[in-house]
Structure 1
């Protein structure tokens, strides 16, 4: 399974994902907005699963000392190139985020986990990532955990193909958070799709207090064509509306991505 995951991201244009459409821009814009009050006073940030560095480079440009950890060699190469192109210094490590022993205990103000949780299918490995975040954070440090909602994915499967609307496929997703059907691409076969309550429980069981829980995309993916057709001024108006309502609990399950921001016990 890991080999299929590595192959998928070796050939996927992750660099452009967060900027190529309005419905993906909103993920980045919302995450940055919701983290602002926590990152402003911070000095040291580690991103676990940094991909090509969209977030790591952004925060390095803001003056933070950033450690970026990524497993896929092709993404690490892009990350290194992007950092050099932008003229920022990052501490970059090619490693599995379940073990970041090279980051000292209680050394970080912020830890970002904005992708790994929806590709780690083993529960003990998901717990290991959260425990590593807790270990490297200073007392009262803050972690951000992104996930993909299994409730959203059920609707997405129905939109993709009626052949996926079966008790077997939907039942597996509902019960396990997995989609193993041969009729989906590698992103889904290697994915893990959580419930909002599960991610809160995961954080709390590792010693975190929940500070915020937001619907990163809201219901925008259901009206994707309409959101993508907005002009820049219209997009900004939609974004401001979305930011007003993204903390509404009733939106969490219908959002593609959710974001839990949690603080380590002092």
Structure 2
């Protein structure tokens, strides 16, 4: 976990979803997928909230919002943003795998948009989904994000050809990990799933699939074009 904390300390995670159009489209698509559940006074919790790009918006929409974040630096930034914007959020420093400070059966919507692609063991991933199940009300909604290992392989082919080796690609395909000294540290601390695996993970904890959405998908491969679109 310390390696993961180091990865996100001092990082401008908030602007990641605004400084490029491909990331803005990720944000817009995610919000569109969630909009039916983000009604005023609904109780929503985000596990892995980073600097609050999503949680702050949930609060602005009138949701009763709780944000949980692992990295102390990101928690501090989020608290400052809440104060600057005059919003009301419940903020906790904590691990998505264990949130004993959150009451069981207490939330309508649980959003996990970052942790799943950093939890490298099956046990950790199961713990995170189990905690989400515990804190949700009966018939509550869970929204999770992941990064496909097939997408990562394509990204390597396009941007990191030094990683297109039998060793790296076979390890990625078989385990979802990229333990290569030639890879960016983000990939070293990442876990990359398959679509089927994620569906099986949530269903194993009693959830029924409502939607499975690509929030940025192919846009990442054509980012140089997308990022030069006009705002309209």
Structure 2 length-normalised TM: 0.98
Please say if residues 49 and 70 of structure 1, whose CA atoms lie closer than 8 Å, have aligned partners that are also in contact.
yes
Name the CA distance, whole Å, in 1 between partners of 2:223 and 2:108: 35
Distance 1:218 1:15 in 2: 20
Aligned residues, how many? Answer: 232
Partner-residue secondary structure (3-state), 2:6: helix
- Root-mean-square deviation over aligned CA pairs: 1.0
Distance in 2 (CA, whole Å) between partners of 1:109 and 1:37 is: 12
TM-score, normalised to structure 1's length? 0.85
Q: Distance between the aligned counterparts of 1:177 and 1:45, measured in 2? A: 30
Counterpart of 2:6 in structure 1 is 7
In structure 2, how many angstroms separate the alpha carbons of the residues matched to 1:63 and 1:190? Answer: 35
Whether the aligned pair in 2 keeps the contact of 1:5 and 1:186 (CA below 8 Å) is no
1:94 to partner: Cα distance: 0.5
State how far apart, in whole Å, the 1-side matches of 2:204 and 2:194 are.
Answer: 16
Q: In the aligned structure 2, how far is the partner of 1:197 from the partner of 1:42?
A: 34
Question: SS where residue 211 of structure 2 aligns?
Answer: strand
**Structure 2 equivalent of residue 63 of structure 1:** 62
SS of the aligned residue for 1:232 comes to coil
SS of residue in 1 equivalent to 2:65:
strand
Counterpart residue number, 1:228 = 227
Aligned CA distance change for structure 1 residues 75 and 184 (closer, same or farther; 3 Å): same
| Structure 2 counterpart SS, 1:92 | strand
Deviations 1:215-266 (A, max 9, x none): 1113101110110000011xxxxxxxxxxxxxxxxxxxxxxxxxxxxxxxxx
Map 1:179-258; keep pairs closer than 5 Å. Answer: 179-233=178-232
User: Contact conserved, 1:42 with 1:109, CA < 8 A, in 2?
Assistant: no
- For 1:38-187, list aligned pairs within 5 A: 38-40=37-39, 43-187=42-186
Q: Give, in angstroms, the shift of residue 8 of structure 1.
A: 1.2
Give the whole-Å Cα distance in 1 for the aligned partners of 2:115 and 2:88. Answer: 23
Shift in Å, 1:42: 6.0
Higher fraction of strand: 1
Offset of residue 41 of structure 1: 6.6
CA apart distance, 1:170? 0.3
How far apart in 2 are the matches of 1:163 and 1:54? 33
